[in-house]
Structure 1
Amino acid sequence: MLDRLVDGLHAGRSSVLVLRGEPGIGKSALLDHVAERAAECRIARVGGVESEMEIAFAGLHQLCAPMLARLERLPAPQRDALRSVFGLRDRETAPDRFVVGLAVLTLLSDAAAEKPLICLVDDAQWLDRASVQAMAFAARRLLADPVAMVFAVREPSDEHQLDGLPGMVLQGIGEDDARMLLASALPGPLDPRVRDRIVAEARGNPLALLEVPRGWAPTELAGGFGVTDAGHLTGRIEQSFVRRLDPLPADTRRLLLAAAAEPLGDAGLLWRAAARLGIGTDAAAPAVADGLIDIGVRVRFRHPLVRSAIYRTAPAHERHAVHGALADATDREADPDRWTWHRAHAAGAPDEAVAEELERSAARAQRRGGLAAAAAFLECATELTPDPRRRVRRALMAAQATFDAGSPDSASELLAVAEIGPLLELDRARLERLRAVILFAKARGNDAVLPLLEAGRRLVPLDADLARETFLEACSAVVFSGRLAPAGRGREVAEAARSAPPGERPMDLWLMAMATWFAEGDAASAALMRNALDAFRRDDIGEADHRWLWIASRGAPTVWDDDAWHDLARRQVRVAREAGALTLLAVALACLADEQVHEGDFAGAAASLDEVDVITEVTGNAPIIHTALILSAWRGEVDQASEVFRTAVRAATDRGEGRAITLVELATAVLENGLGRYDAALAAAQRACRHDEIILANWALVELIEAAVRSGHRDVAVEALGRLVARIGSNGTEWALGIEARCRALVCEGPDAEALYRDAVERLSGSRAAPQLGRAHLLYGEWLRRENRRVEARDQLRRADDLFSGMGARAFAERAGRELLATGATVHRRDAGSLEELTAQEAQIARLAVEGLTNPEIGAQLYLSRRTVEWHLRKVFTKLGISSRRELEKALP
């Protein structure tokens, strides 16, 4: 497989492979094989180091350092992002993590332009999280560049960021080969019983076979004594290396420890530290002769387990000493964060001065690398804080930063540290709040509602601002819980929120609007919601309110304000990117995808959801499935939608997320109305309407009215219309009034119906609701055909068909096509090489090309390399039967 990967690279094909296996199985040897096979290629090697896991972008620096001369060739935002994360420039805000990933992709693509590039990443489980995110991001988007990436990672591993990439699990060698390999390592006699035991315990692991027997006397191997420990394989291999350290001189062992503690492999730094420890250059000779280490321009151990065996088995006081020497040898001005890191590891006991330095490093790291780096420094600062109360404060800060960076499990562990106390009442309330927020992020179900409510009540007399934020979280949890929330829970949250001192921030206004909605319904809350939306749309809102743009964006449809929805959805994505807050970014992108579906931009919504999937995979938070349900329904993908719906109901029931179940019912109604199966649409819409869920109930009523009229249940439609009109109330937007006019037209006859259909088309044309406008044209055209006004019907039906075909609403387009045929018109469908055959990404690239963006600009927007954009455009041209960009505009709707 690896040989084919190299051959494909010479042919200009990208490849990615993740080699998984236990320590010693041969992953590093296979990477060496690739390097030998690809000697004519440019090779970039990265080695994960356990002690550097918490230093953001350390691994990425290893990968990119040889290519940094090419930085000037990158687009400015990407160039600035890499300079920032590598400490080559300072900036006030953290670079967008996805721009960093795109910069890596562009840099690799540029380096491969001269010569095919192979990136070999060993011990990926020990790379810092930020580096793995960036590398995996680039790996997933390699397509048309002569770049190959091969990762080696332990199996099992917590490094789930590589999940989903092509992979292979390496198994052990067979017994016959194992005996041959063992014999090659032991020229002396070996008792057959001992041999069989070693082979059995090694389980085909080559390194175990080579290393475990070493260090045993010939008599022990011949007689079967000594090889009795059947512990964990990694431990046994490490112990074999430890035994090889025993005969080495003391200075050699200390030099090896210093090298193990210095993860960069900087030989100059190692020798400066050695001089401070009083170790001469001749101390390396015995270790080099024994094959444990190689010291040239860089320092390399024979195997990563050599490094870990040396570091883990060294006495604590010796580790402190070598880290102290490494700190002294590090240029504090040039590399203050690494200097601080070594100082921290040199501390043999809590040290407030070091903890303060780490807190300052956290601030620098946040400016340079985002929340993940800040969280790492804050966690270390927590460990070194002597004062118990300061320790609690730093643990809570670290937990919040870790959660925001997308590591909820690690944040929970830090909360456990903080809980040891002593906790002030405010500390306890903040801890319980964050624990509930983490629970909500991981499950998005009913379990989080009560903990959030109790945390908010605890905070009211202590921190009123934070209390209101917590109540708003509780409101969100109730909304997500939907039908599965206990009866009256929404009112209970509303009462608690109203009992808190009032605030004037936009989020405070939104909290009061939500509380009013829970307690009194749509009509009473509408004005409050509109005021809150106006406040959120101001330019001068505070940082705390930025976190809540997503909930304002989600709430805008409640008052039928799609202009506010459009603006807030895009603003929230920008804010979350700039903050590097992955947990918040996933929610923001899901909100944006909702709005894109509303506008008929199905390709854009699909691209946003792809990014959401990447983020939730990286963070381990609960998947966000809501928009995917509605998008599948609008696209009319019957088989795919049915499977998505079934999976969503099972998952939502397990998590206690009742809103998702209602969404499935709403999506089913949309799908069935598009297919013209009105009885099924009516049944689904009625189920969705049984639960008064914010926004969804409005949309379900719209589907119910159409399905009821078309299936002959006019009385049901009239009753639902009355409910819908009451909900729209004073929300006189073009979207709301257009929907109301369309629904009224369905239950009317004669001239009144026609006037209402015309009003619906006019008003919806002035809104952003393109799919709803298409349905107004469709329903008007159907009405005209039944009135035998075929020529006029054709005009409306063609407009509907064009709208639906352009956005990819297949079922509604086919419904419009059937109606057109019934008028005697000819329906022209594109052939097999049509827009419908374009993938979501191809359609989006084509659209951006029509808008005039260059290939690099398209790549920057969609996180693709320039060559990959070119490759996609060639496929678009072939499918559409055109040969240039100039023809795209005519070929696309």
Structure 2
Amino acid sequence: MAIGDRELRGRRQENAVLDGVIDAARAGRAGVLVLRGEAGVGKSALLDAFVARGKRCQVARAAGVESEMELAYAGLQQLCQPFLGRLDHLPPPQRDALGTAFGLVNGSAPDRFLVGLAVLNLLSDAADQQHPVVCVVDDAQWLDRVSAQVLAFVARRLEAESVVLVFSVRDGEEHELTGLPELEIRGLDGDDARALLDSVLPGLADQRVRDRIVAETRGNPLALLELPLAWTTAELTDGFTSGGLAGRIEEGFARRLEPLPADTRLLLLTAAAEPLGDATLLWRAAEQLGLGADPAAAAIESGLISFGQHVRFRHPLVRSAAYRMASPQDRQAVHRALAEVTDPAVDPDRRAWHRAQATARPDEDVAAELENSAHRAAGCGGLVAAAAFLERSAALTPEPAQRARRALAAAGVMRSSGALRSALTLLGSAASGPPDPLRAAEIERLRGEIAFDQGHAGDAARHLLDAAKQLEPLDPGQSRETYLEALSAAMWSTGSEAPAILMETANAVPAATGSERPVDLLLDALALRFTRGYPAAAPVLAKALAHALQTEIGADEVSSWLWLAGNRAGGTIALEVWDFGAALELALRQDRLARESGALVQLQFALNFRANLLCLTGELSVVAGLLEEDRRIAAASGNPRVAYGNLMLEAFRGNEATATHLIDTTIRQATARDQGRMTAFATYGRAVLHNGLGRYDVALEAARQVFEQDVVGYGVLVVSELAEAASRTGDTKLVEAALAWLTERTSALPTDWGLGIESRVRALLTSDEAAYRESLDRLNRTSLRVEIARAHLLYGEWLRREGRRVDAREQLRAAHDLLIEMGLGGFAERARHELLATGETVRKRSPETANDLTAQEAQIAGLAQDGLTNPEIAAQLFISHRTVEWHLRKAYSKLGITSRRQLRGALARSPA
């Protein structure tokens, strides 16, 4: 097999792997592969050969270019160009997101994962088994970051599509493709390496010299082909330790460039600085530089570059050699020429970047143009590009105050893009500007937000509190937003100073303004809760919650830290006022908005928040589906799992080993990250687990820790665990404390949930049967099936101890049946033992899975049962409609049905 005029040697195994990927696509299974190896090892040649063998495939190619890494979506647009005629086939939100990202339409900044879903469906729609879509991306380590993230997302979501994604990445370079299937590309073995060397050094007779060169190059094909053209045999045998092999190859290319005429080197430099390979643009720039056609002849003769419709270098190392060996003056001249010939209407951002590279001293005109480019980049979701533009804009700004303003803006965008260290560095530049109280306060606020991102909740609260105080006389609205952020951070903090910073923040909040903004109502409610106690705060808490439920949130607000703080506050308040329905509504809203905006990190939190709430309704199979989605999103996006819902799921199931591991791990990590609220949450999980297992002393210690900390929103959850464990260990004083705590709250805001738990605790303390019955009556008016089952269990246990076996069996059977149905293994076993003690025979049972449906199959089947179409399910779950079809077919087979109409009955027959 030949590539160009040279045989591709020694790659039979690699070619077989690549051919297998194509074969799988023709069978309807997507394929993803990352070729990894050092520079020059033959990755590009393998990709060329792979494409040449892809008969009847729809091929799209792209290549990362080091100088283009700052231009958002540049690589992705290059790859998707052949398929853009199918944009109208996408659902409108996806079509708009991709069109905005590529600058085809105007719109608000799309989330990169909504763009990713659009690309996934664009490729899926274009593919079929007869004509698979084959996407090849060379030098993927040099893709702009957002393109790389989107393609990594797509690669991790491909399942049942006839789509192939093959990347090449260079060893030692950072990239976004970690975790995808890899094929390491190594140098040629001895015989193939010597044969390749003989093709360029046919007269080399000394076997020892040949062996030394092969050994030093490690069989690297580019080194074997190119180094003999630039280095003497003696130099080649000296070894390649200086600068490494890639450095030696690049230096070899530089040696071959040095003898070329000055105008030819300038032409090659211009081509190196122009990342598109646009021949028309290159010749126009050459004309600007006063270069004629003659320099091209020597360039072509060198074999290092070819000119056609596109300009192509022999290898990326030729491009880097041409650029790095040039003088700064020549580089600036070339970028100036490229800026002149780049159309500002068609490609303003690339023109701005060329102008910036052509400028050695501060220049307000260039800085302003870069700032405009930053706004455009942010508008299409390219936060990394926007940050780079703003950082360079600040560096080129002559006026100090304006420079500080742009540095602060760059820091904010850097932080949003996840580049926290770079953001802090830019904050230092912003702080060095002339004194400005508002800018100083905004810098402090951003420091606090970054500290929270880094997991330092206590430090974050301190910075945010200081910022809020500074902002009070300057920008009252921003000040109150910052106070809410500070309170949220303080509520998450841990350690000996946590209560102090929480109270200091709450006491510092200014008096209520009468504003109806959700931010102001949430802030006033939480501040009152800490400063004046629950009874005084209860009406304001309820009002804040009502307004939060009525307020529409824009999808563009979902990724903001303030929105997250407000949403957490709203959910916390819903629990604090015993309004389970409101808490679930807020969780569902967070889920919906995160999906609509494509904000996957926020969606992961929403899924876990919903999962924790649904643990109380006993819908553990739904909980498992939500947590499986969290896992899939983490795998697709490369973000860590949120996963704290897994802890509660296993605790309620009574799986001691798994739950204990998750609890201990969460506490260890939360302590290290200064997140006391998560420590309290995990400790509450320990109380649930051990109450279910009947180990009341362990449950009591865990519940006491959370109860005594007065963690807002968790008291309603842990108080019943505390009372139950305390009553079983004979600690009457703690049961009394729990009842007093409950009475104070239910008097201020009576709800069936709160009154039901209060009656239960009173029954545990007083052995009043009427209180047991009232607890059941109240809780039966709610959707809290776990609490209902546990009320039956506690009532039945009391009746048995009273010697009323027949009455006890009625309650214990109801508890046991409910607990088994819901899958609460530990509590169900407790009920079984109590039934045995009444003399009733009870077979030990455990929940079964629904006909062996996987969590994803069950979730998709459930959504289909609810009436969602395949495209709607695909959009909700961030997968393609073909993957939905694939999972539904498997679910039908397992359920023994053939259509959607049969799903409701089939799923109803399946055990929970």
Same fold (TM over 0.5): yes
Q: Which amino acid aligns with 1:527?
A: P
Q: Confirm whether residue 629 of structure 1 aligns to residue 679 of structure 2.
A: no
Which stretch of the first structure deviates more once superposed, 169-178 or 78-87? 169-178
Q: 3-state SS of the aligned residue for 1:694?
A: coil
CA–CA distance in 2 between the matches of 1:742 and 1:420?
61
**Aligned residue in 1 for 2:873:** 858
User: Which residue among 885, 893, 908 is the counterpart of 1:870?
Assistant: 885
**Aligned residue in 2 for 1:763:** 781
CA–CA distance in 1 between the matches of 2:832 and 2:168?
53
CA–CA distance in 2 between the matches of 1:574 and 1:549?
16
1:701, distance to aligned residue in structure 2 (A): 1.9
- 1:213-236 CA deviation, whole Å, 9 max, x = no partner? 4422456558x5xx7761244433
> In 2, are the aligned partners of 1:804 and 1:813 still within 8 Å (CA)?
no
User: Which residue among 802, 806, 809 is the counterpart of 1:788?
Assistant: 806
User: What are the equivalent positions in structure 2 for 1:195-206 lying under 5 Å apart?
Assistant: 202=217, 205-206=220-221
User: Which residue among 427, 438, 451 is the counterpart of 1:426?
Assistant: 438
> In 1, are the aligned partners of 2:518 and 2:551 still within 8 Å (CA)?
no
**Aligned residue in 2 for 1:737:** 755
Residues 593/244 of structure 1: CA separation in 2 closer, same or farther (3 Å cut): farther
CA–CA distance in 1 between the matches of 2:693 and 2:148?
44
**TM-score with structure 1 length normalisation?**
0.88
- 1:218-273 CA deviation, whole Å, 9 max, x = no partner? 56558x5xx77612444333222222212233333333223222223333333333
Q: 3-state SS of the aligned residue for 1:162?
A: coil
CA–CA distance in 1 between the matches of 2:442 and 2:872?
43
Which stretch of the first structure deviates more once superposed, 302-311 or 849-858? 302-311
**Aligned residue in 1 for 2:735:** 717
**Aligned residue in 2 for 1:67:** 83
User: Which residue among 131, 135, 139 is the counterpart of 2:151?
Assistant: 135
CA–CA distance in 2 between the matches of 1:571 and 1:135?
28
Q: Which amino acid aligns with 1:700?
A: V
> In 1, are the aligned partners of 2:231 and 2:252 still within 8 Å (CA)?
no
User: What are the equivalent positions in structure 2 for 1:125-274 lying under 5 Å apart?
Assistant: 125-159=141-175, 161-171=176-186, 182=197, 184-189=199-204, 202=217, 205-217=220-232, 220=235, 230-274=242-286
- 1:271-306 CA deviation, whole Å, 9 max, x = no partner? 333343344455434334433233333333222222
Residues 554/443 of structure 1: CA separation in 2 closer, same or farther (3 Å cut): same
**Aligned residue in 2 for 1:609:** 630
Q: Which amino acid aligns with 1:565?
A: A
CA–CA distance in 1 between the matches of 2:334 and 2:48?
31
Q: 3-state SS of the aligned residue for 1:297?
A: coil
Q: How many residues align?
A: 878
Q: Which amino acid aligns with 1:321?
A: A
**Aligned residue in 1 for 2:364:** 352
Q: Confirm whether residue 291 of structure 1 aligns to residue 303 of structure 2.
A: yes
- 1:657-707 CA deviation, whole Å, 9 max, x = no partner? 233222222112222333444444334323433433222233222222233
Q: 3-state SS of the aligned residue for 1:488?
A: helix
CA–CA distance in 1 between the matches of 2:38 and 2:23?
27
User: What are the equivalent positions in structure 2 for 1:109-128 lying under 5 Å apart?
Assistant: 109-113=124-128, 114-128=130-144
1:106, distance to aligned residue in structure 2 (A): 0.8
Q: 3-state SS of the aligned residue for 2:153?
A: helix
CA–CA distance in 2 between the matches of 1:238 and 1:638?
59
Q: 3-state SS of the aligned residue for 1:369?
A: coil
Q: Confirm whether residue 85 of structure 1 aligns to residue 101 of structure 2.
A: yes
CA–CA distance in 2 between the matches of 1:333 and 1:507?
41
**TM-score with structure 2 length normalisation?**
0.86
User: Which residue among 311, 327, 339 is the counterpart of 2:323?
Assistant: 311
User: Which residue among 538, 557, 570 is the counterpart of 1:553?
Assistant: 570
1:33, distance to aligned residue in structure 2 (A): 4.0
> In 2, are the aligned partners of 1:494 and 1:518 still within 8 Å (CA)?
yes
- 1:186-238 CA deviation, whole Å, 9 max, x = no partner? 3454988877776666455443444444422456558x5xx776124443332
- 1:339-361 CA deviation, whole Å, 9 max, x = no partner? 33333333343322232223233
Unmatched 5+ stretches in structure 2: 1-16
Q: 3-state SS of the aligned residue for 1:482?
A: coil
**Aligned residue in 1 for 2:41:** 25
CA–CA distance in 2 between the matches of 1:233 and 1:728?
74
- 1:92-128 CA deviation, whole Å, 9 max, x = no partner? x222332211111111111222512222222222111
Which stretch of the first structure deviates more once superposed, 792-801 or 295-304? 792-801
1:329, distance to aligned residue in structure 2 (A): 3.2
CA–CA distance in 1 between the matches of 2:635 and 2:530?
34
CA–CA distance in 2 between the matches of 1:608 and 1:118?
28
**Aligned residue in 2 for 1:58:** 74
CA–CA distance in 2 between the matches of 1:201 and 1:246?
25
Q: Which amino acid aligns with 1:63?
A: L
**Aligned residue in 2 for 1:366:** 378
CA–CA distance in 2 between the matches of 1:281 and 1:816?
91
Residues 652/84 of structure 1: CA separation in 2 closer, same or farther (3 Å cut): same
1:414, distance to aligned residue in structure 2 (A): 2.6
Which stretch of the first structure deviates more once superposed, 175-184 or 420-429? 175-184
1:624, distance to aligned residue in structure 2 (A): 4.2
CA–CA distance in 2 between the matches of 1:505 and 1:615?
36
> In 2, are the aligned partners of 1:365 and 1:374 still within 8 Å (CA)?
yes
**Aligned residue in 1 for 2:400:** 388
Q: Confirm whether residue 11 of structure 1 aligns to residue 27 of structure 2.
A: yes
> In 2, are the aligned partners of 1:19 and 1:151 still within 8 Å (CA)?
yes
**Aligned residue in 2 for 1:800:** 818
Superposed CA RMSD in Å reads 3.7
Q: Which amino acid aligns with 1:13?
A: R
CA–CA distance in 2 between the matches of 1:238 and 1:732?
76
User: What are the equivalent positions in structure 2 for 1:524-543 lying under 5 Å apart?
Assistant: 524-539=536-551
Residues 546/201 of structure 1: CA separation in 2 closer, same or farther (3 Å cut): same
Q: Which amino acid aligns with 1:339?
A: R
1:552, distance to aligned residue in structure 2 (A): 2.5
CA–CA distance in 2 between the matches of 1:889 and 1:874?
15
Q: 3-state SS of the aligned residue for 2:709?
A: coil
> In 2, are the aligned partners of 1:96 and 1:577 still within 8 Å (CA)?
no
> In 1, are the aligned partners of 2:631 and 2:641 still within 8 Å (CA)?
no
Q: 3-state SS of the aligned residue for 1:764?
A: coil
Residues 585/755 of structure 1: CA separation in 2 closer, same or farther (3 Å cut): closer
> In 1, are the aligned partners of 2:94 and 2:114 still within 8 Å (CA)?
yes
> In 2, are the aligned partners of 1:101 and 1:137 still within 8 Å (CA)?
yes
- 1:493-519 CA deviation, whole Å, 9 max, x = no partner? 233334999977432333333333334
CA–CA distance in 2 between the matches of 1:667 and 1:890?
35
1:425, distance to aligned residue in structure 2 (A): 3.6
**Aligned residue in 2 for 1:105:** 120
1:388, distance to aligned residue in structure 2 (A): 2.0
> In 2, are the aligned partners of 1:602 and 1:631 still within 8 Å (CA)?
yes
> In 2, are the aligned partners of 1:405 and 1:582 still within 8 Å (CA)?
no
1:182, distance to aligned residue in structure 2 (A): 4.7
> In 2, are the aligned partners of 1:666 and 1:688 still within 8 Å (CA)?
yes
CA–CA distance in 1 between the matches of 2:633 and 2:131?
34
Which stretch of the first structure deviates more once superposed, 264-273 or 385-394? 264-273
1:570, distance to aligned residue in structure 2 (A): 4.2
Residues 592/742 of structure 1: CA separation in 2 closer, same or farther (3 Å cut): same
CA–CA distance in 1 between the matches of 2:758 and 2:53?
68
**Aligned residue in 1 for 2:343:** 331
CA–CA distance in 2 between the matches of 1:815 and 1:69?
63
> In 2, are the aligned partners of 1:689 and 1:700 still within 8 Å (CA)?
yes
1:540, distance to aligned residue in structure 2 (A): 6.7
1:143, distance to aligned residue in structure 2 (A): 1.1
Q: Confirm whether residue 446 of structure 1 aligns to residue 481 of structure 2.
A: no
Residues 118/738 of structure 1: CA separation in 2 closer, same or farther (3 Å cut): farther
Q: Which amino acid aligns with 2:76?
A: L
Q: Which amino acid aligns with 2:77?
A: H
User: Which residue among 654, 664, 669 is the counterpart of 1:651?
Assistant: 669
CA–CA distance in 2 between the matches of 1:482 and 1:725?
28
1:17, distance to aligned residue in structure 2 (A): 2.4
**Aligned residue in 2 for 1:510:** 522
How many percent of aligned residue pairs carry the same amino acid?
A: 50
Q: Which amino acid aligns with 2:631?
A: D
